[in-house]
Amino acid sequence: MFTKVLVANRGEIAVRVLRTLREMGIASVAVYSDADRDALHVQLADEAVPLGDPRPSTSYLDMDKLVAAARSTGAQAVHPGYGFLSENAAFARRVAAAGLVFVGPPADALARVGDKTEARRTAAAAGVPLIPGMDAPEADPDKLAAAADRIGYPVLVKAAAGGGGKGMRVAATPAELRAAAQAAASEAATAFADGSVYLERYLDRPRHVEFQILADAQGHVVHLFERECSVQRRHQKVLEETPSPAVDDELRERMGRAAVAAARAAGYVNAGTVEFLLHGREFHFLEVNARIQVEHPVTELVTGLDLVRLQLEIAAGAPLPFSQEQVTRRGHAIEARIYAEDPRRGFAPSPGRILLVRHPEGPGVRCDSGVYSGCDVPVYYDPILAKVAAHGPTREAAVARLARALEELVVLGVDTPAEFLLDVLRSPPFAEGRTHTRFLEEHFAGWMPAADADGLALIAAALERSSPPAVAAAAATTPADDPSPWRRLGGWGRA
Amino acid sequence: MGKGAAEAILVKLRIDDREHDVSVSPVTADGTRRVVVDGRQHEVVSCAAPPDARGLLVDGRRVRLHVARSPDGTWVSHAGRTRLVRAPLPDARTDDRKLKTTPRTRSAAQAITPAFPSMVVAVLVQVGDEVRRGQELVVVSAMKMESRLAAPRAGKVKAIRAKVGASVKPGDELVELEPAAEGTADE
């Protein structure tokens, strides 16, 4: 097993990986840009290496700096987290060439599944059903238009190197296709350094159901059941749960077998996810995510497994410690993503300083957070602050528990969608499990926070303003739980 | 406030675009205050006051809130619902003065400025370019979501105050346009 691992990421996922490293007694190295100097993941690592300029291209996407950081600290392996370079075959190759272990699939498997059109070819060869679409990315607008005619409108424009909804646009007409292709290519080039696009038929109101897979280097591949992530906005997942309300044992068996077949055909190793769109009882292969995913906690909650630990063990050469028959699940788990975004303004980003954060606790609640009171949310990166997940014996119990946890969550200083999520969780269509990828558009377009919740806020704020100055000053100083001692020291002279 | 004022304190407060009238009476002998919100009366007792949490008894009901003050106002959270309570909006004239503008003043709707704190990804024009209404001038990105800022009317690029990689915020005027000269061709 490794004795030192570098975490090539930031925020909540870096914190989560660091926690398993700590549990395994493995020394950890964090990296941080100038914008993350005081970040939580830096505080929790054993060592930290600065990356400089906060723009992604010169920090978390800078392969030279990351490899240099690993070498200078003597790290033996690099865990890439999700996003950034986690699915970049060139990075996996650079890491290996530097004599380090990349905690993820081998570079050639990454290349095979990372290119979305090649992944489709691999899945098709393994007998997995596909959505009608293009087999190769294309930049020529005329060729794209011809492909769209063949596939049939409406079409979805997707980034070949993309993921997480970046660079996706729907086009219902040839005119829309032209504009959509250009915008998608631009967004993808910015996020993934690769602007090529391809088209797929657009399915109406399917469910997004994905299977967690795990493969070792000895050819053993298993799935760890499904997650349904249909509740999305702008193709970004907002709520994720397992099991899917629409998947029974028979369907699970069929889809699980297809997921394993796809992973095996791609020569996949380590943790990954095979995504499907489920339409009734028909499922279509979407893509393979060759990384640990944001929503992995719900799988960990129902299986009792530590996926990051398994990733490290596989990367260190160990075989899978269980067979498919030995994987069991229990109960229901559901997770909410807490982004620094304002649901009243189309989920526009809400960067700034977090004045106060309080994480939920108690039975069956798991909170993976990358923030603390007083920390800054930079403009440069994905605005995920934390994930709140709940586990219960039934779906109803898990949903009620997540709602209770979201009531306990406090984030002051930046906007978050917590209140919006509470309203979604408590809505009849959600309670009935009638989820699909246009769920939010259909039931929550134009959502606004309840005005009757203003009264208590006004009372509290008015009381604040009528407080004596000493109390107000105390409230404005750095909170006691700020992990930076440089900000907690001082204030000795205040009342 | 100050030396034991015997009268209620009246404030006008705002949440989003809704204004409210709130009055807070001094604490009585039994520890209660009367707080009136838009004419509705409440009996409030303060139970606990650690640095960030507040325990209140409001009309006999126990309520736990979290509070934080910022230059923008007071953030209050209760049971997962968060509100930013601010002073009422100043009049429009005052707002214009607060915007960063060049000597030739422009209204907020005309300024080429990002809607939220962003990073400049691309500058699509150069000083001296003639641009038409709706032509895209600057691309900004906030958390990987791109916005393209367009010219509100035809004109000529007089100055560019956006460098690729720079952090910009609402109110920063990224491109200054000179209006199109009289008699120029239609856009």
CA distance A255 to A188: 30
Q: Write the residue in A355, A381, A449 that is nearest to B68 by C-beta.
A: A355
- Sign of the alpha-carbon torsion through A306, A307, A308, A310: positive
Average pLDDT over residues A219-223: 97
- pLDDT > 90: what percent of chain B? 31
CA distance A265 to A112: 10
- Which of the 8 DSSP states describes residue A289? E
- Phi and psi for A167 in degrees, rounded to 5? 70, 30
Contact A457 B145 (CB under 8 A): no
B18 closest CA partner among B101, B106, B83: B83
CATH of the domain spanning A207-444, picked from 3.40.50.620, 3.30.365.10, 3.30.1370.160, 3.30.470.20: 3.30.470.20
Is the CB of residue A356 less than 8 Å away from at least one CB of chain B?
yes
Same fold, A4-103 and A132-201: no
pLDDT at A491 over 60: no
Residues 6+ apart with CB under 8 A from A326: none
For chain A, positions 14-73, list CB contacts with chain B under 8 A: 53, 55
A138-179 pLDDT, tens digit per residue, is: 888 889 999 999 988 989 998 887 666 666 889 999 999 999
Q: What are the chain B neighbours of A411 within 8 Å (beta carbons)?
A: 77, 82
A249-274 pLDDT, tens digit per residue, is: 999 999 999 999 999 999 999 999 99
- Residue A475 has a pLDDT of 44
Is the CB of residue B57 less than 8 Å away from at least one CB of chain A?
no
Contact A406 B80 (CB under 8 A): yes
Please name the helix (run of DSSP H) or strand (run of DSSP E) that holds residue A176, with its range, or none: helix A174-192
pLDDT at A494 over 70: no
Domains in chain B with CATH codes: 9-86 (3.30.700.30), 92-179 (2.40.50.100)
Lowest-pLDDT range of A377-386, A406-415, B87-96, B140-149: B87-96
Say if strands B73-78 and B61-70 run parallel, antiparallel, or are unpaired. Answer: antiparallel
Residue B182 or B127, more confident: B127
Q: Taking phi first (over 0 means left), then psi (-120 to 50 degrees means alpha), and beta for anything else, what does residue B2 get?
A: left
Q: Is the ipTM of this complex over 0.85?
A: no
pLDDT at B137 over 60: yes
Q: In the sheet that A197-201 helps form, which strands lie side by side, from edge to edge?
A: A169-171, A155-159, A197-201
CA distance B28 to B34: 9
A26 closest CA partner among A15, A36, A34, A18: A18
Which of A166, A422, A459, A465 has the highest number of chain B CBs within 10 A, making it the mutation to test binding with B?
Answer: A459
- Residue B43 has a pLDDT of 95
- Residue B136 has a pLDDT of 85
B17-35 pLDDT, tens digit per residue, is: 899 999 999 999 888 999 9
pLDDT at B106 over 50: no
pLDDT at B48 over 80: no
Classified as helix, coil or strand, A279 is strand
- Residue A258 has a pLDDT of 97
User: For A4-103, CATH number?
Assistant: 3.40.50.20
- Residue B143 has a pLDDT of 67
A441-469 pLDDT, tens digit per residue, is: 999 998 999 988 899 999 999 998 877 54
- Residue A468 has a pLDDT of 56
User: Around Cβ A345, how many Cβ atoms within 10 Å?
Assistant: 12
- Sign of the alpha-carbon torsion through A225, A328, A430, A280: positive
CA distance A258 to A239: 24
Place of tokens 């393994």: A126
Taking each helix axis as running N to C, give the angle between helix A249-265 and helix A116-125, from 0 to 180 degrees, rounded to the nearest 10. Answer: 110
Q: How far is CA A74 from CA A5, A22, A46, A275, A321, in A?
A: 9, 17, 13, 36, 28
Whether residue A370 contacts residue A39, with contact meaning beta carbons closer than 8 Å, is answered with: yes
Average pLDDT over residues A317-346: 96
Q: What are the chain A neighbours of B46 within 8 Å (beta carbons)?
A: 463
Is the CB of residue B15 less than 8 Å away from at least one CB of chain A?
yes
Residue A154 preceded by cis peptide, ω within 30: yes
For chain A, what are the domain ranges? 4-103, 132-201, 207-444, 451-488
- Residue B87 has a pLDDT of 87
Lowest-pLDDT range of A6-20, A214-228, B141-155: B141-155
CA distance B134 to A377: 32
The CATH T-level fold of domain A132-201 is Dna Ligase; domain 1 (3.30.1490)
- Tell me the whole-structure pTM to 2 decimals: 0.79
A125-140 pLDDT, tens digit per residue, is: 999 999 888 878 888 8
Average pLDDT over residues A180-207: 86
Is the CB of residue B34 less than 8 Å away from at least one CB of chain A?
no
Whether residue A415 contacts residue A340, with contact meaning beta carbons closer than 8 Å, is answered with: yes
Residue A243 preceded by cis peptide, ω within 30: yes
Is the CB of residue A411 less than 8 Å away from at least one CB of chain B?
yes
Which of A373, A463, A467 has the highest number of chain B CBs within 10 A, making it the mutation to test binding with B?
Answer: A463
- Residue A224 has a pLDDT of 98
Contact B51 A411 (CB under 8 A): no
- Residue A164 has a pLDDT of 66
For chain B, positions 82-101, list CB contacts with chain A under 8 A: 82-83, 85
B73 to chain A: nearest residue by CA? A461
Q: How far is CA A35 from CA A10, A149, B141, in A?
A: 11, 46, 16
User: Around Cβ A339, how many Cβ atoms within 10 Å?
Assistant: 26
Active site members of A: 291
Q: What are the chain B neighbours of A356 within 8 Å (beta carbons)?
A: 52, 66, 68, 75
- Residue A486 has a pLDDT of 53
Our CA dihedral for A425, A430, A436, A438, rounded to 10 degrees, sits at -60
B140 closest CA partner among B102, B104, B114, B172: B114
Residue B135 or A64, more confident: A64
Whether residue A258 contacts residue A239, with contact meaning beta carbons closer than 8 Å, is answered with: no
- Which of the 8 DSSP states describes residue A490? -
